[in-house]
Amino acid sequence: MTATDVPISAEGNPIGFGRMHRKEDARFLRGAGKYVDDVTLPGMLHGAILRSPIAHARITSIDTSAAEAHPKVKAVITGQTLEGLGLAWMPTLSQDTQSVLCTDKVRFQGQEVAFVIAEDKYSARDALQLIDVDYEPLDAVVDAKHALDDDAPIVRDDLEGRTDNHIYDWEAGDATKCDEVFRNAEVVVTQEMLYPRVHPAPMETCGSVASMDPISGKLTIWTTTQAPHAHRTLYALVAGLPEHKIQVISPDIGGGFGNKVGIYPGYVCSIVGSIVTGKPVKWMEDRSENLMSTSFARDYHMTGSIAATRDGKIQGLKVDVLADHGAFNGVAQPTKFPAGFFHIFTGSYDYDAAHCNVTAVYTNKAPGGVAYACSFRVTEAVYLVERMVDCLADELGMDPAELRMNNLLKPEQFPYTTPTGWEYDSGDYPRALDEAMRIAGYDELRTEQAEKRRAYEAGESSMLMGIGISFFTEGVGAGPRKHMDILGLGMADGCELRIHPTGKAVVRLSVQSQGQGHETTFAQIISHELGIPPEDIDVVHGDTDNTPFGLGTYGSRSTPVSGAAAAVVARRVKDKSRIIAAAALECSPDDLEWEHGRWFVKGDPDNGKTIQDIAMAAHSSLELPEGVEGHLDATAVYDPPELTYPFGAYICVTDVDAGTGEVKVRRFIAVDDCGPRINPMIVEGQVHGGVADGIGMALMELIAFERDGTNLGGSFMDYLLPTSMECPSYELGETVTPSPHHPLGVKGVGESATVGSPAAVVNSVLDAIGVRAADMPLTPAVVWRAMQGSPLRMDLALE
Amino acid sequence: MQVKMTVNGEEREADVEARMLLVHYLRDELGLTGTHWGCDTSNCGTCTVAVDGQAIKSCTMLAAMAGGRDVETVEGVAVGGELDPVQEGFMREHGLQCGFCTPGMIMTARWLLARDPDPDEATIREAISGNLCRCTGYENIVRAVRWAAEHPEGATDAEEVSA
Ligand code: FES
Ligand code: FES
């Protein structure tokens, strides 16, 4: 259905897909959103966490007596308290364990050591100063490249029999075949690169309010989670609380980007705090705690090699990765894939062979490892391949657009199985790249660039100009139960739809919005299927007592999985409405035809029943056929048959001052293909935000460390987010290639731009300065040093 | 200590610690949770309110310093429940996603428009550069402020229908 076919409701909204203002905005605009820190309960106490100032140290003693004597302090919890409850350690989402409050030694700066509960938050913070901890410092492993050295200190001596910092080796592809392709290749280019440690840094930090009702034994926890149902099950498994006595409420969430997938020690402490004190306990981390202790992203040291013929036919790609997971392997991803979906690193091109090997190590840094809108490490994968293609173009002296165009998968190759086993569902890649080049005015840009370079070389100007391209393919919508689970929980999503007698509806989702606008988009999906105006459809989410089970919102999975569940559930209601309409019209269901929210008798369009009439009839005394129950509702669980594969072509134009190394992003062109767009306004907003993320990562964002493990990115003074001054106006385009296996054809878009944009920015800057490689973030210092031929390593402080 | 100020047109008085930040006073004492808190270093701007008409990051001011002054928060913006043009611009141009930065952005935009009713894009970008947004990439926020500049009385009836 094209936008112009969509009927318009009395309130001016499309009855189905199309641009529509968001339903959730009414409260956000008035300051009436309800975020976790806005929850206040009678008698509520406040918690604060004492954190380690040192990256690696044995704790020899903790004296909490002075803190306990503080007049406003109600309790102090340490690792010892938790040990008594069996809660000093908790499982991570990737079958590792993580310390809740330290019992033996601290393993990263900012690790949780003690939890103070006081009458107000200022007193809780005051009391942290009164806790006396004796630390016996140990050497720290900070550089992942030395984590496997023989003399490296062992981070995880808590694990039985552990004598090194090795977590896993994982490979995909055919190493033998790949070696053969490389041996016979005319051209091989090898390049080391670091995708440095960055942080999702949503504007709202993480926190929770836990309230244990001592009489009913019911625990209610309001918490910043992208996956409320998964959290509930984990609390049941970890704490041994009966699952039906746990209600997880994820209210309005101030951005997630992967930061709010896992369970953090603070959440557990607030729960224990509520049990211990018998009062509700709120814990909200501050910004430094957020940046220093919660899930970081990337930290991938990659060495890529690309093989090709001299005339530019790409033949092979291989990569070795050293993955820094920090002190605990807290990565959230499907169990079978310890490196996430990194093996989609072959990207959008055709090869004879490909192979990757990922080795993961522990270091004395904060745990986590998959976050920041990365589609389970597709971000690292896309960065690798799109940088390698540019390195190859540089080696061959070819235009990077031409090299890409010659090697992109062709539409007739879909469905396409990659050398590492992914089955891409659909795509028309050359069309997307063409469209991006058309919007950019690619040839004119190259002409302008040549003139800028001439003037620079003639000493007339210090300004250079770069044009960078990135083409990405993502695999999203995790995932098929046959391949994917997290901690044994299959990645399907439930959905429930109820049509009230007057034809108004309520749809209950298992996923949760952190700003993606689900209250609008999912109403539009139901509206599209049933012809009910979106304003008549209420979307309920984020409360485990009131929604069906499902694994939550991350990895761009809401529309691919939960959106499909919503479509399926609406179709079930529609099927039933046909039977009821037939009963009311005294005809056979087969005699009915559907259009815009009503069933009518074929050949007699005036003789019909609207979905609203049918809803009333379904609840009335109308006699229904044998075996048909009254009312109009349905449930569904959607197990995606495969992932969906959104793709896009991005072009970034930068101006670089060669004198200072300063980069200005002049233009950013983003052509996205995420299948049909349910609400184009929301899709565009998702792309805008993702491009800004990419600009941030490419130019500014970095969590670096001192050699002793001191975190150098622990505040917004040090960890720089892009502001309105660094971001350009975005120029968007689209192509539409529906997914053949999704009921709505949609593919998911939440992370596309975060995944695709960093390589475009980096390629652009390097194109400007004529240097093959330099690592993010391309700060003025990095750019300037790269131009002098002495690149900087930014992830560690200088020795 | 006793502090007394006008908040959204009402006299408010409370006994607070001298060190209490204005942001915490508004949120925790008065329950005005529309003003947010997002950093420890005065970088994010989610706490922005108007104090005597000036956009102020309320985490940089003690409640005591606002004594005797006129404070306006996002809760005071929609008069009689009707969105003001800045709020309406944010809705129409999709200038918000998670909504966490939005109250601060709205207060900053109102301050800008009060001083400069017709700002160009560069001026808007500079004015909001102390307010971080992790969701929108800023473009639609810039458009939202432009919309408000172009519609000082809010939407016309014709736009109402096409919206
Ligand atoms: S809370 Fe971040 S600037 Fe005030
Ligand atoms: S809308 Fe989420 S931070 Fe701005």
Cα A309 from chain centre: 37
Is A10's Cβ below 8 Å from some Cβ in B? no
Q: How far apart are CA A621 and CA B73, in angstroms?
A: 53
Residue A689 and residue A543 share a domain? no
Peptide bond into B103 cis (omega under 30): no
C-alpha A31/C-alpha A36 separation (Å) is 14
What backbone phi and psi angles, to 5 degrees, belong to A545? -75, -20
pLDDT band at B81 (very low <50, low <70, confident <90, very high): confident
Distance from the CA of A372 to the center of ligand 2, in angstroms? 15
Give pLDDT tens digits for B2-27.
Answer: 999 999 999 999 999 999 999 999 99
d(CA B3, CA B15): 6
pTM of structure: 0.97
Same domain for B29 and B95, yes or no, is no
What average pLDDT does the segment B72-85 reach? 94
Whether residues B67 and B93 share a domain: the answer is no
B133: which chain A residues are within 8 Å (Cβ-Cβ)? 203
Q: What is the pLDDT of residue A170?
A: 97
Nearest chain A Cα distance for residue B152, angstroms: 17
Q: Residue A6 pLDDT more than 90? A: yes
CB-based pocket (< 6 A), ligand 1: B 37-39, 42-47, 57, 59
**Which tens digit of pLDDT belongs to each residue from A686-719?**
999 999 999 999 999 999 999 999 999 999 999 9
Centre of ligand 1 to C-alpha B58, Å, is 7
Residue A331 tokens, joined: 């990565």
Task: Report the share of chain A in percent with pLDDT over 70.
Answer: 99
Rounded CA gap, A78 and A86, in Å? Answer: 12
Same domain assignment for residues B71 and B130 = no
Coil/strand/helix, residue A464:
strand
Same domain? For B149 and B113 the reply is yes
Whether ipTM tops 0.90, in short, is yes
SS3 call for A580 = helix
pLDDT at B162 over 80: no
- Tokens representing residue A322 in the block: 């050293």
Phi, psi of B102 (to 5 degrees): -60, -50
Which pLDDT does position A375 carry in this prediction? 86
Atom of ligand 1 nearest to the CA of B36: 1
The residue segments making up the domain with residue B49 are: 2-76
Distance from CA of B95 to the nearest CA of A (A): 8
Domain end marker among A603, A638, A673: A638
In a domain, A269, yes or no: yes
Residues contacting residue A489 through CB under 8 Å, at least 6 positions apart = A230, A233, A551
> Which CATH number fits the domain that encloses residue A133?
3.90.1170.50
Q: Give the tens place of pLDDT for each residue, A231-255.
A: 999 999 988 899 999 999 999 999 9
Angle, CA of A133, A137 and A139, to the nearest 5°: 155
**SS3 for A33-96, per residue?**
CCEHHHCCCCCCEEEEEEECCCCCEEEEEEECHHHHHCCCEEEEEEHHHHHHHCCCEEECCCCC
One-letter amino acid at A594 equals: W
pLDDT over 70 (residue B70)? yes
Residues in chain B within 8 Å Cβ distance of A724? 124-126, 128-129, 131, 138, 141-142
A58 in the same domain as A11:
no
> What are the chain B neighbours of A205 within 8 Å (beta carbons)?
38
Q: Are residues B59 and B102 in the same domain?
A: no
3-state secondary structure A626-657: CCCCCCEEEEEEECCCCCECCEEEEEEEEEEE
Under an 8 A CB cutoff, do B98 and A29 touch? Answer: no
Contacts with A681 from chain B: Cβ below 8 Å: 94
Residue A696 structural domain: 381-477+644-788
How far apart are the C-alpha atoms of B90 and B105, rounded to whole Å?
A: 10
Q: Looking at residue A332, what is its pLDDT?
A: 84
CB pair distance less than 8 Å for B103 and A721: no
pLDDT value at B161 more than 60:
no
Cβ atoms of A187 and A362 closer than 8 Å:
no
How many angstroms is it from B103 CA to the middle of ligand 2? 10
Say yes or no: A93 and A213 in one domain.
Answer: yes
Contact call for residues A128 and A116 (beta carbons, < 8 A): yes
Same domain, yes or no, for B6 and B72?
yes
Confirm whether A297 is domain-assigned.
Answer: no
Q: Do B34 and A253 touch (CB under 8 A)?
A: no
Neighbours of A755 (CB within 10 A): 31
Give contacts of A 779-798 with B, CB under 8 A: none
Residue that is last in its domain, among B44, B76, B108:
B76
> Contact, A736 vs A746, CB < 8 A?
no
Residue-wise pLDDT for A186-231, tens only, equals 999 999 999 999 999 999 999 999 999 999 999 999 999 999 999 9
Whether A653 and A625 map to the same domain: the answer is no
Distance of alpha carbon A652 from alpha carbon A439, whole angstroms: 12
- Whether A689 has its CB under 8 Å from any CB of chain B: the answer is yes
> How many Å apart are CA A36 and CA A33, to the nearest integer?
10
A 506-545: CB under 8 A from B: 514-517
Residues B71 and B123 in one domain: no
Sign of CA dihedral A179, A181, A185, A191: negative
Chain B residue with CA closest to A692: the answer is B137
Does residue B87 contact residue B29 with C-beta atoms inside 8 Å? no
Neighbours of A410 (CB within 10 A): 12
- Of the three residues B25, B44, B76, the one that is the final residue of a domain is B76
Give the pLDDT confidence score for residue A673 in this predicted structure: 98
A25 with B97: Cβ contact below 8 A: no
Average the pLDDT over A152-170 and give the result: 96
Q: What is the mean pLDDT of the segment spanning A636-664? A: 97
Predicted pLDDT at A799: 77
Tokens of A30: 């008035």
Task: Specify if A267 maps to a domain.
Answer: yes
Question: Do A454 and A499 fall into the same domain?
Answer: no
**Based on the domain organization, do B68 and B95 belong to the same domain?**
no
Written as one letter, the residue type at A567 is A
Same domain? For B108 and B144 the reply is: yes
Report the range of poorest mean pLDDT among A63-77, A360-374, A585-599.
A360-374
Query: Measured from the CA of B57, which atom of ligand 1 is nearest?
Result: 4
B110 and B138 both lie in a single domain: yes
Q: Residue B163's pLDDT band (boundaries 50, 70, 90)?
A: very low
CATH classification of the domain holding A571: 3.30.365.10
Which of A608, A638, A668 is the endpoint of a domain? A638
Domain membership flag for residue A562: yes
Please say whether the beta carbons of A53 and A109 come within 8 A. yes
Q: Which ligand is nearest to the CA of B39?
A: 1
Q: Which residues of A118-157 are buried (b: 16+ CB within 10 A; e: fewer)?
A: bbbbbbbbbbbebbebebeebebbbbbeebeeeebeebbe
* Ligand minimally distant from the alpha carbon of residue A203: 2
Q: Note the Cα B111 to chain centre separation in Å.
A: 8
> Residue B160: its pLDDT value, please?
57
How confident is residue A487, by pLDDT bands cut at 50, 70 and 90? confident
Best of A8, A13, A22, A29 to substitute, by most chain B Cβ atoms within 10 angstroms, is: A29
Residue from A130, A8, A141 nearest A69 by CA: A130
Report the chain B residue with the minimal C-alpha distance to residue A30: B75
Asked if the structure places residue A177 within a domain, the reply is: no
Answer with the one of B33, B49, B76 that is the final residue of a domain: B76
Report the alpha-carbon distance of residue B114 to residue A176 in Å, rounded.
Answer: 69
CB distance A502 to A616 below 8 Å: yes
Q: Report the candidate in A562, A476, A615 with the shortest Cα–Cα distance to residue A744.
A: A562
Judge contact between B6 and B12, C-beta under 8 A: yes
C-alpha distance from B89 to closest chain A C-alpha (Å): 10
The pair of structure tokens assigned to A239 is 């704490």
Name the token pair of A367. Answer: 């745990």
A203: Cβ below 6 Å to ligand 2? yes
Angle between helices A265-277 and A228-239 (to 10 degrees): 60
Domain holding B149: CATH number?
A: 1.10.150.120
Residue of B nearest to A206 (CA): B38
Number of domains comprising chain A: 3
Q: Domain end: A613, A638, A663, which one?
A: A638
b/e B18-52 (16+ beta carbons within 10 angstroms → b) = eebbbbbbbbbebebbbbbbbbbeebbbbbbbbbe
| Tokens read off for A669 | 């062109």
Distance from CA of B6 to the nearest CA of A (A): 18
CB contacts, 8 Å: B97 with chain A: 255, 515-517, 685, 689
Q: Which of A34, A30, A5 is nearest to A17 (CA)?
A: A5
Token pair belonging to B108: 């900053």
Within 8 A of B140 by CB-CB distance, chain A residues are 685, 688
Domain with B37 in it: what CATH number? 3.10.20.30
Going by their DSSP bridges, the two strands A368-369 and A281-284 should be labelled as unpaired
- Encode burial over A24-49: b for 16+ CB neighbours within 10 A, e otherwise: bbbebbbbbbebbbbbebeebbbbbb
H/E segment holding residue A570: helix A564-585
Q: Assess if residue A160 is contained within a domain.
A: no
B93-142 pLDDT, tens digit per residue, is: 999 999 999 999 999 999 999 999 999 999 999 999 999 999 999 999 99
Cβ neighbours of residue A789 under 8 Å, at least 6 residues apart?
none
Mean pLDDT (whole number) for A433-439: 98
Residues A537-554 pLDDT 10s: 999 999 999 999 999 888
For residue B140, the SS3 value is helix
Q: Are residues A442 and A508 in the same domain?
A: no
**pLDDT tens per residue, range A725-783:** 999 999 999 999 999 999 999 999 999 999 999 999 999 999 999 999 999 999 999 99
Indicate whether A440 and A503 sit together in one domain.
no
Q: Is A17 exposed, middle or buried (0-12, 13-18, 19+ CB in 10 A)?
A: buried
Q: Coil, helix or strand for A188?
A: strand
Say if residue A540 is exposed, middle or buried (CB neighbours under 10 Å; 0-12, 13-18, 19+). Answer: middle
Please indicate, yes or no, if residue A84 is contained in any of the structural domains.
Answer: yes
Query: Partners of A193 in the beta sheet?
Result: A302
Q: What part of A 18-37 touches B (C-beta under 8 Å)?
A: 21-22, 24-35, 37
| Span from the CA of B43 to the centroid of ligand 1 (angstroms) | 6
Q: Residue A305: in which H helix or E strand, if any? A: strand A296-308
CB A372 within 8 A of CB A199: yes
Q: Do A21 and B92 touch (CB under 8 A)?
A: yes
My answer on whether omega of the bond before A479 falls inside 30° of 0, hence cis, is yes
Q: Which long-range contacts (CB under 8 A, 24 or more apart) does A778-787 make?
A: A778/A663, A778/A698, A778/A699, A779/A661, A779/A699, A779/A700, A780/A660, A780/A661, A780/A662, A780/A663, A781/A661, A782/A661, A783/A656, A783/A661, A783/A662, A783/A663, A784/A660, A784/A661, A785/A661, A787/A658, A787/A661
Give the count of domains, chain B: 2
Q: What is the mean pLDDT of chain A?
A: 96
- Say yes or no for a CB contact (<8 Å) between B77 and A38: no
Mean pLDDT of A644-652: 98
Q: Measure B156 CA to nearest chain A CA, in Å.
A: 15
Tell me the pLDDT tens digit for each residue of A249-304: 999 999 999 999 999 999 999 999 999 999 999 999 999 999 999 999 999 999 99
A691 Cα to the center of ligand 2, angstroms: 14
For residue A629, tell me if it sits in a domain: yes
Please tell me whether residues A75 and A113 are part of one structural domain: yes
% of residues, chain A, pLDDT over 90: 94
Assess whether B31 and B96 both reside in one domain: no
A552 with A612, same domain: the answer is: yes
A215 to chain B, any CB pair closer than 8 A? The answer is no
Ligand of minimum distance to the alpha carbon of B22: 1
Are residues B68 and B89 part of one domain?
no
Q: In the Cβ-directed half-sphere of A230, how many Cα atoms lie within 13 Å? A: 29
| Residue A28 pLDDT grade (very low, low, confident, very high; cuts 50, 70, 90) | very high
Ligand 2 pocket test: which of A24, A203, A727 has the largest number of ligand atoms within 8 Å of its C-beta?
A203
